[in-house]
Structure 1
Amino acid sequence: MAPVSIDLQSLADSHEQPFVIIDRDYRVLAINAAYEKTFGVSNDDAVGLPCYKISHNNDAPCHESGEDCPHANLFEIGKTDSCLHVHFDADHRMCQVRVTAHPLRGSNGELYMGELIQQLSGPDERRINGRRMVGKSTPFLACMDQMKMVAAAQAPVLLQGETGTGKELAAHFIHSNSMRREQPFLTVDCTVLTESLFEAEVFGHARGAFTGSVGERTGLFEQADGGTLFLDEVGELPLSQQAKLLRVLETGQYRRVGGKKTRNADVRIVCATNRHLWESVSAGQFREDLYYRIACLSIRLPALRERLDDIEILAPDLLGPVSQSMNQKFKLTLAAIERLKLYDYPGNVRELRNILFIAATHSSGGDIDNVVIETVLQQLAHGRQHQHQEATVESRQAETASRPGMTGNGLHDVEAKHISALLQQHHDNRKQVAAALGISERTLYRKLKRYNLN
């Protein structure tokens, strides 16, 4: 039988997802309509140019800078290869993707690479309180890949990670990429609900269920019907509440407090914890049967110190809400970004956001340089030392006053004053203040309590 010749453009157009055909010399030979639409580049503009220029804004192949690249493996071995990558659209906006490279043979025996691109998140990903998940490092992309896969399932998800790693953002990402995306996403903060309030808040209560319950209350479980219920810091739940949660997860049925009617709700559960939850199981502090129920799909969010290369794109993204809240455009110098990469961030992304906020308040002209960053980091280091020492208020004030660029009672004083000003600006609308700060309302409530601003 004579070999069949297939036009490369027709082959690319046969795919619904973005698809590009590349030769041994990295030149783009064809892209399909999905690629054009996703990355904002036309076939005429792309054909003939290097793939690393079109997809990555690079001047050299990706593997030369240490990045994963399927090109070399495919042309050396001739086998399908897959990796996680970052692509850029025509407006230089970043998209996290999974790339799968397939070997294609021409009728003349020439080897080509057909690259199928599955988007994990794009530049238009919805922000939550001004925040979104940003990164390009291998640990971050692997985590995004996991979340994209579990989003398609219906089973419960357990997100594990240190404080400040973005577990609530991850829960939002899973919900917004699931079939439940058009339905409610509700949050339960397990650290603030007392045992008596848990049932009423989660399951609701009937009229007269307890003193002061004049009317009926619809619980969060019922409100989230068809959607997702996010249980933040689930490891903090007392054992008595764990038993009640297990019951509804096993049966899908519950009763309002003081009610007799058995109700049903179709809710997907996403849980988060900063604990090693299995250690809590071993210590008898967390039910083993509940653990297996909520940890059907488990994802660990990497700490920021494990993905320091992300800071060069993460920090400018975090500065956006800071600029908005302070009505001034801020940007980091290259030296400032390099200094930020040398810190270990025990508070993770949340701490980086706070560092940038404090640095912005001490930067004139909108440029944040490495001198300001160094001063803020030194202030944080001294603050941590004071937490482990018995020092007088006077000595702490003297220490702070002696630091260049820092006055008053230090970083907390600056933050408290800024939050107080935003409360006045937004007429005590806490939702608007949280959005201006780029934090969740729950985080804002904790700060209000800490600074006695209630």
Structure 2
Amino acid sequence: MQTELHLITNEMTEILEGITEPATLIGTDYRILATNAAYRSIYGDDRPMQQRYCYEVSHGYAVPCDQAGESCPLKRCRDTGKNQRMLHLHNTPAGEEHVDVEMQPVHNASGQLVCFLEIMHRVLEAKARPGEQEGMVGRSEAFNRMLEMVHRAAPSEISVLLLGESGTGKELVAKALHDSSPRAGKSFVTVECSGLSESLFESELFGHERGAFTGAVNRKRGLVEAARGGTLFLDEIGEIPLPQQVKLLRLLETGVYRAVGSVEPQHADVRLVCATHRNLKKMVQAGEFRQDLYYRISPFPIPLPTLKQRIDDLPLLIDVLLGRLAGGEGVSVSGAALKVLMRYDFPGNIRELRNILERGILLADDGVIGVDQLPPELLMQSETGHEMSVVTAMSDAVVPLDTLEDNYLRQVAASFRGENRELAALLGISERTLYRKLRRLKIGSG
């Protein structure tokens, strides 16, 4: 078997070098058998790759991913016998980055599984660490699920519908879809549908000729024409008046439109991305949104998580936003203030966090945003929250929150008889976060 594996490895090494993206051959025991030049240039360090465990190189783990709170593509590939693909965070010399991992089983002539081919598609739509770059940043489980959908949709021409609350960053996601698509070199045009009156809709979207109506003293190019070859982003599409929805539907069905006051048809060449915070399905049932238009714009819906759903990203988002805000360079958030923020619901999501930090920057005379620099409503929620009642019930003395959490986690882990993913769900955190907390406390996984 070892001789056969050696021969297969030698043959596959030539194939690996023909793959432009980072690729590696992994044995059934998780050991790296071979890598290509692209893999070594991105993930390599000063130690040889061969015979090291893939999970040690990619994650710095001492155990396979599935035992460390992650979904392991190799294990799933082995269990199902089928190709697997999932988004992971991988270590690089520059820090962690998002990677879309594709895992394929490799069989010998007898059909026996001998190793796995792993190809890593780098995800450039977002970053997992602070930096000066614009765009999306995150590393939580909820964020990564959304990012995986974005990465799958970006290279295609499929219409995408972004679903999320106000302030969740729908325009950033739309821009990421554009920047990672074949249309990236062309225009990205945003249409604020909530600000368009019924009378202005056609003129803004399709343009108008001189003299088409009172006040049309010049020819105006429409936003569909401005986005030619690129991406047209219709933000808050649920706000388009019902009579105008049929005109948008005609554009999507035929790819042809006419400027107001013109008889000449023009052909649209746009990739459509729409967004809304409203429940379009309920609007369809209520007769407020056309059903045929809904199906035209929603072949690939992507739900965007709220900030509360990705609260593990809060420290990272704070670092990034402080670096982007005027006067935020060198400013930090105190540990006590961070704990208050971690308990807050953020009804305004990331936009609200940005406002909180802008306010804090102006009030932080010593360069540290403390509890006193936070808006009063955050403190009111914190004082009426469950955490304060637990402290009061335990003792008249004030217990540091870190100590309280550690003691509680030790008690729960000792008494809980289910699996870690069940415990994580009950605690309201991701399985990966639970694993890290248990590892820090040197508590064995259950």
For the aligned pair, the TM-score class normalised by the smaller chain equals 0.7 to 0.9
User: 1:189-228 maps to which residues of 2 (within 5 A)?
Assistant: 189-228=192-231
Which amino acid in 1 is paired with 2:321? L
Question: TM-score under structure 2 normalisation?
Answer: 0.73
- Identical counterparts, % of pairs: 41
Moved more, 54-63 or 301-310: 54-63
Which amino acid in 1 is paired with 2:165? E
Are positions 1:36 and 2:37 aligned together?
no
Q: Secondary structure at the match of 1:289?
A: helix
Does the Cα contact within 8 Å between 1:22 and 1:28 map onto a contact in 2?
yes
Structure 2 vs 1, CA of residues 269 and 100 (structure 1 numbering), >3 Å: closer, same or farther?
closer
Q: Which residue pairs with 2:388 in the alignment?
A: none
Does the Cα contact within 8 Å between 1:20 and 1:35 map onto a contact in 2?
yes
User: 1:43-442 maps to which residues of 2 (within 5 A)?
Assistant: 44=47, 46-47=49-50, 49-57=52-60, 61-71=64-74, 81-92=84-95, 94-104=96-106, 112-121=115-124, 131-322=134-325, 325-326=326-327, 328-333=329-334, 336-369=337-370, 372-373=373-374, 377-378=378-379
Q: Which residue pairs with 1:20 in the alignment?
A: 24
Structure 2 vs 1, CA of residues 151 and 327 (structure 1 numbering), >3 Å: closer, same or farther?
closer
Which amino acid in 1 is paired with 2:190? T
Instruction: Measure, in 2, the Cα distance between the counterparts of 1:55 and 1:90.
Output: 11
CA offsets 1:198-237 (integer angstroms, 9 cap, x no match): 1111111111112222221111111111111111001001
- Aligned-residue offset at 1:177: 1.5
Moved more, 98-107 or 338-347: 98-107
Which amino acid in 2 is paired with 1:185? F
Instruction: Measure, in 2, the Cα distance between the counterparts of 1:78 and 1:6.
Output: 20
CA offsets 1:18-40 (integer angstroms, 9 cap, x no match): 11344566554433222234x35
- Which blocks of at least 5 consecutive residues in structure 1 are unaligned? 383-454
Structure 2 vs 1, CA of residues 154 and 62 (structure 1 numbering), >3 Å: closer, same or farther?
same
CA offsets 1:164-220 (integer angstroms, 9 cap, x no match): 111111111111121111111101101111122111111111111122222211111
Q: Which residue pairs with 1:436 in the alignment?
A: none
Does the Cα contact within 8 Å between 1:87 and 1:95 map onto a contact in 2?
yes
CA offsets 1:138-173 (integer angstroms, 9 cap, x no match): 322222121222222223221111111111111111
Instruction: Measure, in 2, the Cα distance between the counterparts of 1:72 and 1:271.
Output: 37
Moved more, 344-353 or 131-140: 131-140
Instruction: Measure, in 1, the Cα distance between the counterparts of 2:335 and 2:54.
Output: 27
Does the Cα contact within 8 Å between 1:328 and 1:366 map onto a contact in 2?
no
- Aligned-residue offset at 1:241: 1.5
Does the Cα contact within 8 Å between 1:29 and 1:48 map onto a contact in 2?
yes
Does the Cα contact within 8 Å between 1:31 and 1:43 map onto a contact in 2?
no
Structure 2 vs 1, CA of residues 374 and 79 (structure 1 numbering), >3 Å: closer, same or farther?
farther
Does the Cα contact within 8 Å between 2:101 and 2:119 map onto a contact in 1?
yes
Instruction: Measure, in 2, the Cα distance between the counterparts of 1:262 and 1:60.
Output: 62
Are positions 1:6 and 2:33 aligned together?
no
Instruction: Measure, in 1, the Cα distance between the counterparts of 2:81 and 2:62.
Output: 25
Q: Secondary structure at the match of 1:83?
A: strand
Q: Secondary structure at the match of 2:185?
A: coil
Which amino acid in 2 is paired with 1:34? A
Structure 2 vs 1, CA of residues 364 and 265 (structure 1 numbering), >3 Å: closer, same or farther?
same
- Aligned-residue offset at 1:122: 5.7
- Aligned-residue offset at 1:74: 5.9
Instruction: Measure, in 1, the Cα distance between the counterparts of 2:367 and 2:70.
Output: 33
Supply the RMSD in Å over aligned alpha carbons: 3.4
Q: Which residue pairs with 1:447 in the alignment?
A: none
Structure 2 vs 1, CA of residues 169 and 268 (structure 1 numbering), >3 Å: closer, same or farther?
same
Instruction: Measure, in 2, the Cα distance between the counterparts of 1:79 and 1:221.
Output: 43
Instruction: Measure, in 1, the Cα distance between the counterparts of 2:341 and 2:29.
Output: 37
Instruction: Measure, in 2, the Cα distance between the counterparts of 1:110 and 1:6.
Output: 13
Q: Secondary structure at the match of 2:347?
A: coil
Instruction: Measure, in 1, the Cα distance between the counterparts of 2:368 and 2:117.
Output: 44
Q: Secondary structure at the match of 2:229?
A: coil
Structure 2 vs 1, CA of residues 336 and 293 (structure 1 numbering), >3 Å: closer, same or farther?
same
Structure 2 vs 1, CA of residues 100 and 252 (structure 1 numbering), >3 Å: closer, same or farther?
closer
Instruction: Measure, in 1, the Cα distance between the counterparts of 2:209 and 2:122.
Output: 46
- Aligned-residue offset at 1:42: 5.0
Q: Secondary structure at the match of 2:137?
A: coil
Structure 2 vs 1, CA of residues 340 and 60 (structure 1 numbering), >3 Å: closer, same or farther?
farther
Does the Cα contact within 8 Å between 1:163 and 1:348 map onto a contact in 2?
yes
Instruction: Measure, in 2, the Cα distance between the counterparts of 1:236 and 1:145.
Output: 28
- Aligned-residue offset at 1:312: 3.1
Does the Cα contact within 8 Å between 2:161 and 2:274 map onto a contact in 1?
yes
Instruction: Measure, in 1, the Cα distance between the counterparts of 2:261 and 2:372.
Output: 61
- Aligned-residue offset at 1:53: 4.6
- Which blocks of at least 5 consecutive residues in structure 2 are unaligned? 384-446
Does the Cα contact within 8 Å between 1:157 and 1:297 map onto a contact in 2?
yes
Q: Secondary structure at the match of 2:9?
A: coil
Which amino acid in 2 is paired with 1:97? V
- Aligned-residue offset at 1:363: 2.4
- Aligned-residue offset at 1:294: 1.2
Structure 2 vs 1, CA of residues 123 and 30 (structure 1 numbering), >3 Å: closer, same or farther?
farther
